Amino acid sequence: MAIKFGRPSERGRPSSPRVALPHANEAKVEESADRLDLAVRPRRGRRAEWARRMVREHVLTTNDLIWPLFVVDGAKVRAPVASMPGVERLSVDEVVRAAEHAAKLTIPCLALFPYTDPARRDETGSEALNADNLVCRAIRAIKKEVPDIGVLCDVALDPYTSHGHDGLMRDGVILNDETVAVLVRQALVQAEAGCDIIAPSDMMDGRVGAIRRALDGAGFSSVLIMAYAAKYASAFYGPFRDAVGSNATLIGDKRTYQMDPANADEALREVKLDIEEGADMIMVKPGMPYLDILHCVKATFRVPTFAYQVSGEYAMIMAAAGNGWLEGDKAMTESLIAFKRAGADGVLTYFAPMIAERLKKGGA
């Protein structure tokens, strides 16, 4: 049977598909032998657009958006990411253009991710500590040209390590405490460059507390921390790893530090720890496959809670839309309101500029 959501021929009919009521009489329940004696008819509130708007529980606004951008060396570079149609790696000058565009669309915050030249990647991810690395140059350029937009940066070593892991690796083991010491330095380098929100995405134990203490000690007590608190070991990060070039290098997987997709209670323990260690905001990642976790986290802790609609989620919608299997705009809009409904205060999404344009036109 064909699914006909929102078809004009279905709109406004109180109950019977057999009687075509003229518009003016729509409010009158049809007289018929089959008429049910119902006190409650939830469809009354869905009959017209004005009524649907009145009873709508959640709204998405541009304030809810964080736009992730990939930064690459060079000038005037916009290099498409094959597995993320519509997403490009941008050189710093182009990132600044994107920031201006975002500001015009009233998107409050950008998230920056570097594609590091492979020649600059090494065992320890030392480029992460270079105060003149791509991300730091991008932060400074944005802050100079578009000072009123927020800038968020990942703290993790994967864009910089030759093995593609988020931490230091010895004999195939990801070291926790030694990694945290490096992440603290990476966070300080980014804060020094002007980053507003430090977002540890590495899932090492104790990193939020260590970063908070270091930031405070260095005079960055107003720099925010958004902890990737419940971050799962997910196949949905594949296109992102193409974009930052770590798919090619990644040895093994990240299951010794990212969470098992089978676990929910553990997410609450992770979030609790990060809040206790000083996280201002927390994140659940990926997004759509983990809406249950998002809802539970928000209901339990009532802190600013964000969802990351990750690269694979974006790629799925874009690929299906590109094939004509989904209506892309509608699938995008529906996927984003789902995050709000589940309790998110905001969403990191590659759709940010597209949905913002749509919201601006009053279309979402």
Residues within the interface to ligand PBG (CB under 6 A): 154, 156, 158, 166, 201, 237, 240-241, 254, 310-311
In angstroms, what is the minimal distance from the CB of 240 to ligand PBG? Answer: 3
In angstroms, what is the minimal distance from the CB of 254 to ligand PBG? Answer: 6
Distance (Å, whole) CA 136 – CA 281: 22
Q: Supply φ then ψ for residue 360, to 5 degrees.
A: -60, -40
Q: Are 168 and 174 in contact (CB under 8 A)?
A: yes
Q: Toward ligand PBG, which CB reaches closer, 201 or 335?
A: 201
Q: Toward ligand PBG, which CB reaches closer, 220 or 228?
A: 228
Distance (Å, whole) CA 76 – CA 88: 12
In angstroms, what is the minimal distance from the CB of 237 to ligand PBG? Answer: 4
State the catalytic residue, choosing from 231, 254, 298, 340.
Answer: 231
Distances (CA, A) of 48 to 20, 23, 24, 25, 44: 16, 11, 12, 13, 8
**Token pair belonging to 323:** 């094939």
- For ligand PBG, which residue has the nearest CB? 240
Number of helices (H) and strands (E), helices first, in the chain? 11, 12
Q: Toward ligand PBG, which CB reaches closer, 60 or 347?
A: 347
Q: Toward ligand PBG, which CB reaches closer, 5 or 346?
A: 346
State the catalytic residue, choosing from 254, 285, 298, 340.
Answer: 285
Nearest to 85 by CA among 243, 321, 315, 245: 315
Alpha helices in the chain (DSSP H): 49-55, 92-104, 134-145, 177-193, 207-217, 238-243, 265-276, 291-301, 311-322, 328-342, 352-360
Distance (Å, whole) CA 157 – CA 127: 9
In angstroms, what is the minimal distance from the CB of 163 to ligand PBG? Answer: 12
Q: Are 65 and 107 in contact (CB under 8 A)?
A: yes
In angstroms, what is the minimal distance from the CB of 8 to ligand PBG? Answer: 37
3-state secondary structure at position 15: coil
Nearest to 331 by CA among 364, 307, 299, 306: 364
Q: Toward ligand PBG, which CB reaches closer, 23 or 72?
A: 72
In angstroms, what is the minimal distance from the CB of 92 to ligand PBG? Answer: 20
Q: Let me know if 332 is exposed, middle or buried by CB neighbors in 10 A (0-12, 13-18, 19+).
A: buried
Q: Toward ligand PBG, which CB reaches closer, 158 or 196?
A: 158
- Is residue 285 annotated as a catalytic residue, yes or no? yes
User: Any idea which residues carry the catalytic annotation?
Assistant: 231, 285
